Copies of this chain bind each other. A is one copy, B any other.
Amino acid sequence: MTANERECGARPGRGTLVIIGGHEAKKGNRDILRQVARLSGGDRLVIATVASHTREGYFESYQEGFSGMDVGELTELYVDERDEATDPKTLERLEGASGVFFSGGDQLRITSLIAQTPLEERIREIYDEGGVIAGTSAGASVMCETMMVTGRSEETYRVGELQMAPGLAFIRGVIIDQHFAERGRMGRLLGAVAQNPRVLGIGIDEDTAIVVRGDSFDVIGSGGVYVADGSAITHSNVAEARTGDTLSLHGVTLHVLSAGDRFDLQHRAPGRPSEEEETSGTKEKVAKST
């Protein structure tokens, strides 16, 4: 299978995705922001705060978060109307950039304002040229082909209670949820997987991220990453049950991953990076050279 035929994994290209479950540390160790800085390689890093209904504070918090790191100029990208995403002046903000970081808010703002515009095209180019595309919270959900929009937390999924929409499709064959353990979102993730077990469910805790290259990812940060694989499901009631009925779903395979774990999206199999990679730092070199 060539990269172009890939069913599950990052969009073909030379870039890296950093998909974060929200509330990444902006003080102290800052493993996640440090990884984004490293992957952007010292060139301009664009903080896309477009998911937010108000502009205030997001950009400044990332200026603080990235302070003292070997990162190039930080530039805010904010649009409030779709025509701004086609404005050459907006595109200028991405000149020379090697990374784009989508902050949190409403994933539908990202897709409805920038999808299918020259701005989105330019972001894809940055990725294709080997840059880093990062996203946290809403910025994480939006990475998928089909993204979660709304669904109840802290409840077992009830038939009909989840809204999904087409996302930016930087990663294929998965559906991502964020603030995962913190907001008790196992129910809605399983609800999504039940509807089509082709997609692998990935739930990412706060201050935790998956770093996706090609068809595998590594986990970084302090929390857990849950992978719900529906390949072996033997029974599901999502099609026959009435709206509001509680989910019945038999035979999900569940993995809990934490920092240092790797996951092979193509073979749906967890593992750990080889010792050689861990000790020689090859992982970083690969990340920067791809």
Contacts and interface: CB of A to CB of B under 8 A. Distances in A.
Contact of A156 (B156, B181, B183, B253): B181
Interface residues of A, number: 43
Count this chain's copies in the assembly: 2
A254 B258 CA distance: 19
A224 interface: yes
Interface stretch (A83-91, A116-124, A134-142, A241-249): A241-249
A182 B154 contact: yes
A80 B205 CA distance: 41
A258 B245 contact: yes
Contact of A256 (B190, B234, B259): B190
A261 B251 CA distance: 13
B252 A256 contact: yes
A254 B230 CA distance: 10
A258 B157 CA distance: 10
Contacts of A186: 181, 184, 186, 226
Given A184-B184, A222-B246, A253 B251 contact: yes
Interface in A43-66: none
Nearest to A156: B224
A187 interface: yes
